[in-house]
Structures are given as structure tokens and as C-alpha cells.
Structure 1
Amino acid sequence: MRRRLIGAALALVAAASLAGCSDGGAEASGAPELSVDGAFMPQPVNADLAAGFFKVTNKGSAADQLTSVTSPSAERVTLHTTKDGTMREQDAFEVPADGTLDFSRGGNHLMFEELTGRPAVGDTVEVTLHFSGSGEIEVSLPVKEATYNPAKASGTGHGTAQPAQGRTAQEHHGTVRS
């Protein structure tokens, strides 16, 4: 009888240890944990084009990729980077594990092409960021003065982000909402 109790106790300890390992294994395999802040759009200086800026933070242990952006405010939203004074369109941007992807003046940015209207200071432009691993994140970009520089701002009025409801990035990859 005593051997059975010891055997049962060892089996319970082993099962508990394995359960703990599987939970830790899920964390170790990693997943991106994305958040977006500091979003804004400078007031467009012409009726056709605008730029957008924000910061994506990944607190997860796996990288993700921003693959596209859609907005009802433009026929097309493209990803761009500026290096050595030259602007280039990008297919995607990596959001590193435990790191950030920064969209700021003079660097990475969104390019809104063929605007459906001309946003004014105080308006809000909605966008959907499409990630290869995390799906969609809805972001509100407040429209600021054309010369707005967040480094000099007090930190108020930043855009907000929320996970999208009901759709995945794969279902809307590269599409434009209207």
C-alpha cells in the first residue's frame, strides 16, 4: 500500500512539473505583444498626399512584421523609409522582439496617397495596421499642425490604438476600406 502511495505521489509531482514546463514552453516559444503610441498626421500641405507617424512597441519575445496599412481617408497607404535623404517604398517593416519600430520625421513613415478629403488640424484619421503575426491594430491619428514636432510637444494628444474586432490581417491584407 505504501509503495502505491509513493508511486501516486511521484506521478502527481511529475505531472505538475510537466504542466509547469508546458506553460513555460509556450512563453519561451514567444509571441509578439504589440502596442502603438505617439500617432499623428501633420496637416497635409496639398490635397493629394499626407504622412503619418507613430511608434510600435513589442514587449513579446518574437518579432512581427508590419505588412500593410489601410485607411478610409486615402485610396492607398504605403510604407516608406528615408535614408540619406532618399525616400523609398518598403514592402514591410520588422518589429523586433522586445524592441520598437519608430515612424518619425526624416525616417520611416506612412504615405497617404489620393486622399479622399483634406484633413484639418483637430480631425482624426483612422488607420488599420496589418501585422503578419498579430493581425490588425486600429489606430487613430490626430491631425496636428504641419510643423508639429512631438519631441518638442508636452506628450498630450497622442493617438490611440486598439485591437481590431472581427477581421484578421490575412483577410484584408493590402485592401482599402471605403
Structure 2
Amino acid sequence: MRRRAALTAAALAAGLVLTGCSGSGSGAGGAELSVSGPYMPQPVSADMAAGFLTITNAGGARDELTSVSSDVAGRVTMHSTVGGTMEEKTSFVVPAHGRLVFASGGNHLMFEGLKRKPVRGQTVTVRLTFAESGTRTVEMPVKSATYNPTTGH
């Protein structure tokens, strides 16, 4: 009975790892990326919005987020905020066995030139492009303008 439970757990874990991997960076020692907690606060501006999420890398190799795009915006840029100063970035490293966090007050995504203003309850499709793992599509729910998650970041 104990052996059956261990085999079942191992099979489930392997399935989860395979589900989270795609592209050339997966495999032995490669990046194993997953995305959690994506959300967009309902924008207060008609032409700009922010986006937040966490990218976890369970693999033994680092990867790099090189671009973000969405059909809801003309352009999506990546920013870091350090000491109250916001700076646009062309890429972010996702460390091996680590995470890259985009959260309010820190790293964040800016959706610029909105083609439509997303409203609470809708979802926005976002494409994350990585140097090694290729492209991942994420559905980002639109939350209230004051939404502030207490877990996951």
C-alpha cells in the first residue's frame, strides 16, 4: 500500500513537471517555469494598466523573460522599482530554483496604449517570451482597482 502511494505521488509529480515545461529549455537540468497569481488591477486610466504575477523556476538552469505582449495593449513594457524609482527593463532573469516576482511597489508590467479598457471580471491574455523556454500564454484576471493580494508574492 505504501509503495503504491509512493508510485502514485511520483507519477503525479512527474506529470506536473511535464505540464509546466515546454520549449527548448525544458528537460534534464533546464528551466522548469510556472506562473502563479497573475492579475491586473482594473485600470483607472483609459490608455494604461499595470500587471502582476510570479514566475517560479523549479529547474536547475536560469532563464530570462525577454518580452511580454498582449492583444489588449499596443505595447507591454517591464519595469523595476528600486528606492521609489521606476526603470524600464528589456529583460529579467528567472533564477534556477528561484522566482521572479512582479508585485505592486516592485517589478511590474505596464500595458500601454490600451485598445480597450479591461474591467473587473474580465481576463486579459498575456504572452510571456523566455530566452530558453519559448512563449507561455497566461490568462490574467482583471481585479478591482484596489485589489492587493496577501499571498503568493
Q: Same fold (TM over 0.5)?
A: yes
2:37 maps to a residue whose letter is: G
Once residues 137 and 131 of structure 2 are traced to their aligned partners in structure 1, the CA distance between those partners, rounded to angstroms, is 15
1:65-144, aligned counterparts within 5 Å? 65-144=64-143
Structure 2, unpaired ranges of 5+? 1-26
Q: Which has the higher strand share?
A: 2
Mapping 1:163-178, distance limit 5 Å? none
1:77 partner amino acid: V
- What is the TM-score normalised by the length of structure 1? 0.69
List 4+ stretches of structure 1 deviating above 4 A.
none
Alpha-carbon distance, 1:125 to partner? 0.4
- Looking at CA atoms only, which structure, 1 or 2, has the larger radius of gyration? 1
TM-aligned CA deviation for residue 97 of structure 1: 0.1
CA separation in 1, counterparts of 2:90 and 2:113? 19
TM-score of the two chains, using structure 2 as the length reference: 0.80
Distance in 1, Cα, partners of 2:75 & 2:37: 22
Seq. identity, %? 57
Encode CA deviations 1:82-140: one digit per residue, 9 max, x unaligned.
11111110010000000000000000010000000000000100010000000000001
Unaligned runs of 5+ in 1: 1-25, 156-178
Q: Deviations over 1:35-75 (max 9, x none)?
A: 00100000001101100000000000000000000100000
Q: Greater helix share, 1 or 2? A: 1
In structure 2, what residue type is equivalent to 1:90? K
Q: Which residue of 1 aligns with 2:19?
A: none
